[in-house]
Amino acid sequence: MGSGTSTQHHFAFQNAEKAFKAAVLIQRWYRRYMARLEMRRHCTWSIFQSIEYAGQQDQVKLHNFFSYLVDHFTPNNHNERDFLNRMFTEERSPQDSEMENCRDYESIEVPDSYTGPRLSFPLLPDHATALVEAFRVKQRLHARYVLNLLYEARKHLVQLPNINRVSTCYSEEITVCGDLHGQLDDLIFIFYKNGLPSPERAYVFNGDFVDRGKDSVEILMVLFAFMLVYPKEFHLNRGNHEDHMVNLRYGFTKEVMHKYKTHGKKILKLLQDVFCWLPLATLVDEKVLILHGGVSDMTDLEFLAKLDRHKIVSTMRCKTRKEDKKQAEEKGKANQTSSAGTPSPWFLPQSHSLPTSPLCPSTQKAHRAGRSSSVPCRVPLDPKELSHWVRHSVDLELEKCRQQAGFPEIKEKEEPLPLASEADPEAEGRREPTQEEWRQVVDILWSDPMAQEGCKANTIRGGGCYFGPNVTERLLQKYNLQFLIRSHECKPEGYEFCHSRKVLTIFSASNYYEVGSNRGAYVKLGPALSPHIVQFQANKATHTLTMRQRISRVGESALRALREKLFAHSSDLLVEFKKRDKDKTGLITLSDWAAAVESVLHLGLPWRMLRPQLVSSLTDNKLEYKSWLKNLAKEQFSHENIQSSLLEALYRNRSNLETIFRIIDSDHSGFISLDEFRQTWKLFSSHMNIDVTDDCICDLARSIDFNKDGHIDINEFLEAFRLVEQSCSKGYASDCQATNTNNSDCSSPDIH
Amino acid sequence: MADDRDREGTEIAVAEFHKKIKDAFEVFDHESNNTVDVREIGTIIRSLGCCPSEGELHDLIAEVEEEEPTGYIRFEKFLPVMTEVLLERRYRPIPEDTLHRAFEVLDPAKRGFLSKEELIKHMTGEGEPFSQEEMEEMLSAAIDPESNSIHYKDYITMMVIDEN
């Protein structure tokens, strides 16, 4: 009988079945593990993005606040007028006669000891290549050559049209690159992998060359050098970061001043002008439109082609030509009656960074019948109209702020006192763009695509709009285009198609948020302009990490940033928690925790998904919020008693503070006087709603390495606050005493 | 009375589940229109604590898909189905020791490890086979480069710690 064989078969079958089942089990488990990793990756991305955009909104709000002050504040004495004036003198773009002064780079001596690259003009291709190589080995270009190169670049850019037309019949291929943000490694990698620019190899760089990364200067030098060497094949578009106001916040200004201590200011001044002369868009074969941000439903390419792009100094703030006073008054009165139940004014200090639209919707509808949506970050109403509206509902509020800031009471006036330089309206008309011009440019540089049809204000960024597939379609049809290439948004894969492949986002700064966060990419346009994407990640280290390690590394970084943000809002969080703990048990449910956190931070994050990484211990499925907050503080300072609302406020507003200081320090010297420091601080604290006494401010100033000559080194001041974190965590706990703003006796942290 | 309390308890649980499900769903709702790509449903379900097999996952997807599949899953359909899954505690995660025993089944000689080739053979040839990408990713973390094998007890421990 074959029972033996059949038993063997039976066993064999059973074993195979067991192995099968075991395999399924393992695969099931593994897939779940990977799914959780994937979820974490998405959440991490959201964290980085929302924090980045919140920062951009802050920036916009800050500038809107100052703009409003300048337009409506009536300085009562010489000092105050100067103080505010100084903040905006940078707005004035240099006249042509002033530009001649920039030739004084010729007087700058280059010492013999200088071993860096030397440039002579006209530049030759070899020079440009040598420059790349020099930067690759970390050499620095002497200020004289920087200025010389910028001067030559400006001469070239001035001749270019707003919309650069490029043809592929001369060069065989054309490569389009997106944001670089000061990441020289990525640029070098692109040239290495794709080849250096040449008459056969055309390039378009789509804006955002500077800020955030550490080599913005070098990137600009390389790009301008190649532009001069291959003017017909090498093209640059302006991005929203090619803007001196944005640079104040995002690091480029700092980088220049740090690398060029003597001549930095001159360089920045020249750059301010050069940026305005960058073309706004590039059109390839009349078919592919390349621009930095996007478009809106009002985008008019013919209008854009005709305007004077040089007048748009910064997209952050727009001093536009004032309309006829009578017209404005009429409009203002009309608006007053139509806007019943006015929402709270956008510019007043708010405790949260919510993306409330900077516009009052009712006034917008009444006033802008034609335009559907695209919103500039600043109120589109003529300051005159605004002042009427404002006076109606918020004068008291504003008075309070002004008093807090130490400015004397404002008497009712019909119109703001013009600042000295505004006296001549005609001259002003020549230099300032119109509202429409400014808006069209903002749309190009700031907009993002969205999946839904339509066009709405980009409240997340504070400028430009979100444009839908129908907007794209209409534009492409209207101008007979094939598709749109834009940048402006970081994508995990370095690129992304949307709107049925009619819009391509290309982003060339790899590892933008953190090492391992994303790839960079560039796109080559082949015959018939079909796009071919090449991806890269300029960091060897990431290649050896597994996905798991990469995600956890980036995730950790994101969570750290998030925890810092949470800490910075401790007081507000406590208030929200207490609201949800009516019985004063000290505990709240996780649901309430999530709701409270969102209501304070407004980051739109999936808090429940993030909860395990943010809240570690639970009592009976509830959270003891007070000790949770304490632990957050401990993480930041490793010190038990930090309840300092001052420190917290500083943390929250660190970049705002830095930006304000840099604005005050208009000569970029790095120093401001004690008086300016006090004024700045008052302005700052009234804007940010911080209650800080005068004494506290003095103590703060004194505790910083404060020279007897009455000047504060703002860099030291800012570093001091970063140092507080480090020195505290190193255990100098006794030095970090809580600043109790309730007491008049305030002991400020001993900062060294 | 007990019934009322039970019902209340369930209601609270359901409310909690709804919020959890919504949060997870929103992470992948890129267009903010309450739909996600059907290819992301697996990730969402698994990140909510469930550990279905591929077969079970396909069944679930069939339940939440439209009559005429659009490639997108709507939240209105997903929510009730997912809530049931959570209430019934379906597709529970696999305990560590069960997992360990599964590896041991594949390692009848009880050496404590599997060679790289053996792992590949089992994972890509049996069960619900891995794709090449999945296999490569698992290998990159699991294989000890010196011995070219996976010591599964250590591997499991490492992955479990990682999760937490």
How confident is the model over B91-136, as pLDDT tens digits? Answer: 988 888 899 999 999 998 999 999 999 999 999 998 899 999 899 8
Three-state DSSP at B32 gives: coil
- For residues A261 and A144, what is the distance between their CA atoms, to the nearest angstrom? 13
Q: Which residue would you say has higher pLDDT here, A184 or B8?
A: A184
User: What pLDDT is recorded for position B13?
Assistant: 82
Name the residue with tokens 């570093």. A719
CA-nearest of B10, B17, B22 to B76 is B22
> Using 50, 70 and 90 to split pLDDT, how confident is the model at B146?
confident
Contacts of B93 in chain A (CB under 8 A): 29, 32
Instruction: Verify whether the Cβ–Cβ distance A26 to B127 is below 8 Å.
Output: yes
| DSSP label of A103 | G
Contacts of B44 in chain A (CB under 8 A): 39
- For residues A364 and A368, what is the distance between their CA atoms, to the nearest angstrom? 6
Task: Return the H-helix or E-strand segment holding A363.
Answer: helix A361-367
CA A157 → CA A141, A219, A320, A336, distances in Å? 21, 17, 24, 45
Contact residues, B window 66-95, toward A, CB-based 8 Å cutoff: 93-94
Best mean pLDDT range from A229-238, A512-521, A524-533, B127-136: A229-238
CA-nearest of A563, A665, A614, A535 to A178 is A535
Three-state DSSP at A456 gives: strand
Provide the residue type at A93 as one letter. Answer: S
Whether B115 and B149 have beta carbons less than 8 Å apart is answered as yes
Residues A259, A261, A263, A265: what is their CA dihedral angle, to the nearest 10 degrees?
Answer: 90
Instruction: Verify whether the Cβ–Cβ distance A32 to B126 is below 8 Å.
Output: no
- For residues A451 and A469, what is the distance between their CA atoms, to the nearest angstrom? 7
Contact residues, B window 4-43, toward A, CB-based 8 Å cutoff: 15-16, 19-20, 23-24, 26-28, 30-33, 42-43
The values of phi and psi at residue A89, to 5°, are: -65, -25
Instruction: Verify whether the Cβ–Cβ distance B130 to A27 is below 8 Å.
Output: yes
Instruction: Verify whether the Cβ–Cβ distance A46 to B42 is below 8 Å.
Output: no
- For residues A626 and B116, what is the distance between their CA atoms, to the nearest angstrom? 50
Q: What is the pLDDT of residues A265-289, one digit of tens each?
A: 889 989 999 999 999 999 999 999 9
- Residue A488 pLDDT more than 90? yes
Instruction: Verify whether the Cβ–Cβ distance B134 to A34 is below 8 Å.
Output: yes
Whether A164 and A284 have beta carbons less than 8 Å apart is answered as no
- For residues B87 and B80, what is the distance between their CA atoms, to the nearest angstrom? 10
- For an interface test with B, the pick among A13, A21, A28, A547 (most B C-beta atoms closer than 10 Å) comes out as A28
Poorest-confidence range of A63-67, A141-145, A155-159, A377-381?
A: A377-381
Provide the residue type at A259 as one letter. Answer: K
Provide the token pair at A313. Answer: 């100094």
Provide the terminal-to-terminal Cα distance of chain B, rounded to the nearest Å.
Answer: 39
Name the residue with tokens 């507003």. A653
Whether A237 and A290 have beta carbons less than 8 Å apart is answered as yes
The ipTM, to two decimals, is 0.93
Query: Which string of DSSP letters, residue by residue, matches A576-588?
Result: HHHHT-TT--SEE
- For residues A747 and A509, what is the distance between their CA atoms, to the nearest angstrom? 44
Mean pLDDT of A243-264: 87
> Using 50, 70 and 90 to split pLDDT, how confident is the model at A563?
confident
- How many residues are present in chain B? 164
Contacts of A593 in chain B (CB under 8 A): none
Burial of residue A617, with CB atoms counted within 10 A of its CB: 0-12 exposed, 13-18 middle, 19 or more buried: exposed
Residues 6+ apart with CB under 8 A from B84: B90
Whether A394 and A348 have beta carbons less than 8 Å apart is answered as yes
User: What pLDDT is recorded for position B163?
Assistant: 60
Q: E strands along B33-161, which residues?
A: 35-37, 72-74, 114-115, 149-150
- For residues B153 and B99, what is the distance between their CA atoms, to the nearest angstrom? 9
Instruction: Verify whether the Cβ–Cβ distance B47 to A609 is below 8 Å.
Output: yes
Instruction: Verify whether the Cβ–Cβ distance B27 to A32 is below 8 Å.
Output: no
- For residues A752 and A721, what is the distance between their CA atoms, to the nearest angstrom? 10
Contacts of A452 in chain B (CB under 8 A): 31-33
- Residue B60 pLDDT more than 50? yes
User: What pLDDT is recorded for position A52?
Assistant: 77
CA A396 → CA A340, A408, A582, distances in Å? 18, 14, 34
Provide the token pair at A228. Answer: 């001069």
Nearest CB partner across the interface for A452, out of B31, B105, B164:
B31
| DSSP label of B28 | T
Instruction: Verify whether the Cβ–Cβ distance A39 to B43 is below 8 Å.
Output: yes
- Cβ-based contacts under 8 A for chains A and B: 126
User: What pLDDT is recorded for position A298?
Assistant: 93
Contacts of B127 in chain A (CB under 8 A): 20-27
- For residues B151 and A715, what is the distance between their CA atoms, to the nearest angstrom? 53
- For an interface test with B, the pick among A15, A17, A21, A33 (most B C-beta atoms closer than 10 Å) comes out as A33
Distance from CA of B94 to the nearest CA of A (A): 7
Provide the token pair at B72. Answer: 């997108």
Neighbour tally for A201: CB within 10 Å: 19
Q: Which residue would you say has higher pLDDT here, A444 or A620?
A: A444
- Residue A731 pLDDT more than 70? no
CA A409 to chain centre: 35
User: What pLDDT is recorded for position A430?
Assistant: 52
| DSSP label of A422 | G
Q: If you measure CA to CA, which chain A residue comes closest to B98?
A: A25
* Radius of gyration over every alpha carbon of chain B, rounded to an integer in angstroms: 19
Q: Which residue would you say has higher pLDDT here, A227 or A629?
A: A227
* Radius of gyration over every alpha carbon of chain A, rounded to an integer in angstroms: 28
Provide the token pair at A23. Answer: 């395999």
Percent share of chain A, pLDDT over 70: 62
Mean pLDDT of A174-193: 94
CA-nearest of A243, A443, A462 to A347 is A462
Instruction: Verify whether the Cβ–Cβ distance A27 to B53 is below 8 Å.
Output: yes
| DSSP label of A713 | E
Instruction: Verify whether the Cβ–Cβ distance B42 to A35 is below 8 Å.
Output: yes
Residues 6+ apart with CB under 8 A from A564: A636, A651
Provide the token pair at B95. Answer: 């305990």
Longest dimension (CA), chain A: 116
Q: Which residue would you say has higher pLDDT here, A63 or B64?
A: B64
> What are A's interface residues with B at a Cβ cutoff of 8 A?
15, 18-36, 38-39, 42-43, 46, 450-452, 546-548, 552, 591, 594, 606-609, 612
Q: What is the pLDDT of residues A613-635, one digit of tens each?
A: 788 777 777 889 988 988 887 76
Three-state DSSP at A163 gives: strand
Contact residues, B window 107-136, toward A, CB-based 8 Å cutoff: 108, 122-123, 126-130, 134
| B144 interface with A at CB cutoff 8 Å | no
Distance from CA of B109 to the nearest CA of A (A): 13
Which pairing describes strands A288-291 and A483-486: parallel, antiparallel, or unpaired? parallel
b vs e for A692-715, b when ≥16 Cβ sit within 10 Å of the residue's Cβ? beeebbbbbbeebebeeeebbbbb
User: What pLDDT is recorded for position A188?
Assistant: 94
Average pLDDT, chain A: 73
CA A152 → CA A149, A232, A281, A675, distances in Å? 5, 16, 21, 40
Provide the terminal-to-terminal Cα distance of chain A, rounded to the nearest Å.
Answer: 94
Q: What is the pLDDT of residues A306-355, one digit of tens each?
A: 999 998 888 876 555 444 333 434 444 443 333 332 222 333 332 222 22
Instruction: Verify whether the Cβ–Cβ distance A608 to B20 is below 8 Å.
Output: yes
Residue A241 a catalytic site member:
yes
Q: If you measure CA to CA, which chain B residue comes closest to A613?
A: B164
CA-nearest of A353, A356, A363, A397 to A377 is A356
Contacts of B24 in chain A (CB under 8 A): 39, 606, 608-609
- Among candidate residues A72, A241, A367, A668, the one labeled active-site is A241
Task: Return the H-helix or E-strand segment holding A506.
Answer: strand A503-506
Provide the residue type at B51 as one letter. Answer: C
Contacts of A603 in chain B (CB under 8 A): none
Distance from CA of B53 to the nearest CA of A (A): 5
Name the residue with tokens 């949470």. A566
Contacts of B98 in chain A (CB under 8 A): 25
User: What pLDDT is recorded for position A2?
Assistant: 52
Contacts of A31 in chain B (CB under 8 A): 42, 46, 54, 134
- The pTM (predicted TM-score) of the whole model is 0.68
Whether B93 and B51 have beta carbons less than 8 Å apart is answered as yes
